[in-house]
Amino acid sequence: MNSTLQNEETGNEARAEKQMFVMKCGGSTLAALPESFFADLRDLQSQGTQPVIVHGGGPAISENLAKLGIDTEFVNGLRKTTEPVLDVVEMVLAGSINKQIVRLIQRVGGRALGLSGVDGGLIQAKPVSNHAEIGWVGDVTSVQAEIIQGVVQMGYMPVIAPVGVDASGQRYNINADTAAGAVASHLGVSRMIVVTDVPGIMKSVNGEKKVLPSVSVQEIEDMIQTGEIYGGMIPKVRAAIACIHGDVREVVIVDGSEPQILSRVLQGETIGTRIIRMQ
Ligand X SMILES: Nc1ncnc2c1ncn2[C@@H]1O[C@H](COP(=O)(O)OP(=O)(O)O)[C@@H](O)[C@H]1O
Ligand Y SMILES: CC(=O)N[C@@H](CCC(=O)OP(=O)(O)O)C(=O)O
Q: Is 57 annotated as a binding residue?
A: yes
Confirm whether residue 173 is marked as ligand binding: yes
Minimum distance between the CB of residue 159 and ligand Y, rounded to whole angstroms? 14
Please check whether residue 160 is in contact with residue 115, taking contact to mean a CB–CB distance below 8 angstroms: yes
A 10 A CB-CB count for 255 gives 17
Minimum CB–partner distance for residue 135 and ligand Y (Å):
9
Beta-sheet pairing, 250-255 with 273-276: antiparallel
In terms of CB distance, is 149 or 185 closer to ligand Y? Answer: 185
Residues forming the site for ligand Y (CB under 6 A) = 26-28, 56-58, 61, 78-79, 89, 137, 162, 173, 175-176, 232
Mind giving me the DSSP string for 248-271? --EEEEEETTSTTHHHHHHTT---
Give the shortest CB-275-to-ligand X separation in angstroms: 12
User: Taking a C-beta distance cutoff of 8 angstroms, is the pair 165, 124 a contact?
Assistant: yes
- Angle of CA points 92, 94, 97, to nearest 5°: 55
Nearest position to ligand Y, beta carbon: 56
Q: Which is nearer to ligand Y, 21 or 136 (CB)?
A: 136
CA gyration radius, the chain: 18
Which residue number, 41 or 89, has a Cβ lying nearer to ligand Y? 89
Residue 185: which of ligand X, ligand Y, none does it interact with, CB under 5 to 8 A by kind?
none
Residues in CB range of 32: below 8 A, 6 or more apart = 197, 256, 257
Q: Are 246 and 190 in contact (CB under 8 A)?
A: no
The binder of 147, among ligand Y, ligand X, none, by C-beta within 5 to 8 A per type, is: none
CA distance 118 to 170: 9
CA-to-CA dists, residue 126 to 40, 171, 223, angstroms: 35, 9, 29
Binding-site partner at residue 29 among ligand Y, ligand X, none, CB < 5 to 8 Å by type: ligand X
Q: Which does 140 bind (CB under 5 to 8 A by kind): ligand X, ligand Y, none?
A: none
**Left if phi > 0, otherwise alpha if psi is -120 to 50, otherwise beta: which for 226?**
alpha
Nearer to ligand Y, 58 or 114 (CB): 58
Known binder of ligand: residue 103? no
Q: Please state the closest distance from residue 230 (CB atom) to ligand X, in A.
A: 5
| In the complex, minimum distance from the CB of residue 85 to ligand Y, in angstroms, rounded to a whole number | 8
When CB distances are held under 5 to 8 angstroms depending on the partner's kind, the choice from ligand X, ligand Y, none that residue 230 binds is: ligand X
CB of 66 to ligand X, least distance (A): 17
**Which residues bind to ligand X, rule: CB under 6 A?**
26-29, 56, 58, 196-198, 201-202, 228-233
| Binding-site positions | 57-58, 79, 173
